[in-house]
Amino acid sequence: MNEPQQRIRASFDSQRLMSTLGAELISVTDGEVQILLNFSDSLSQQHGYMHAGAITSIVDSACGYAALSKAPPGFDVVTAEFKVNFMRPAIGEHFLAVGTVKSTGKLLSVCHGEVYAVTENSKKLIALMQATIVFVDA
């Protein structure tokens, strides 16, 4: 791993919510981060599917860390705001969140996030995020 990847992994490991949910950081490249979450009954909403809050948590972290991969040295990231569309019920064995940087300025980064419900035979887009991430002094 290079330095930004190590920094992102260390930060991810310190996000206790990620381990509480059971999320794993599976890929970090320049401008793109992937996080995987297995289905669990303990994260369900009233119909037994994954709660929008759990789906949002992993794609928020994916977008934030994608922005961090592009941040100037000595800066950390915080989420200013995001918007998420939920296009299909979150039914699946695994949920893959992919955060991608669309633009980076001095203060703000705009990121695009996608979440896929994955089973042995299918991979369906279930949620779309558009997020604004702020660079702050670390």
Least distance CB 120 / a second copy (angstroms)? 22
Residues 53-92 that bind a second copy (CB under 8 A): 53-54, 56-58, 60-61, 76, 78-89
Cα distances (angstroms) measured from residue 122 to each of 18, 24, 91, 94, 119: 25, 20, 11, 11, 5
Q: How far apart are CA 132 and CA 20, in angstroms?
A: 25
Contact predicate 39/92, CB 8 Å: yes
| 5 near a second copy, judged by CB under 8 A | no
| 32 near a second copy, judged by CB under 8 A | no
Q: How far apart are CA 40 and CA 21, in angstroms?
A: 9
Least distance CB 57 / a second copy (angstroms)? 3
Of the residues 27, 29, 42, 119, which one makes contact with a second copy according to CB under 8 A = 42
Helices 3-14 and 52-68: crossing angle, nearest 10°? 150
- The residues pairing with 117 across neighbouring beta strands, listed in sequence order, are 95, 124
| 6 near a second copy, judged by CB under 8 A | no
Q: What tokens were used for 4?
A: 């930004």
For a second copy, how many residues bind (rule: CB under 8 A)? Answer: 49
| 30 near a second copy, judged by CB under 8 A | no
Coil vs helix vs strand at 22: coil
Least distance CB 64 / a second copy (angstroms)? 8
Binding residues (CB under 8 A) for a second copy: these are 11-12, 14-17, 20-21, 41-47, 51-54, 56-58, 60-61, 76, 78-89, 102-103, 105, 107-108, 110, 112, 125, 128, 130, 132, 134
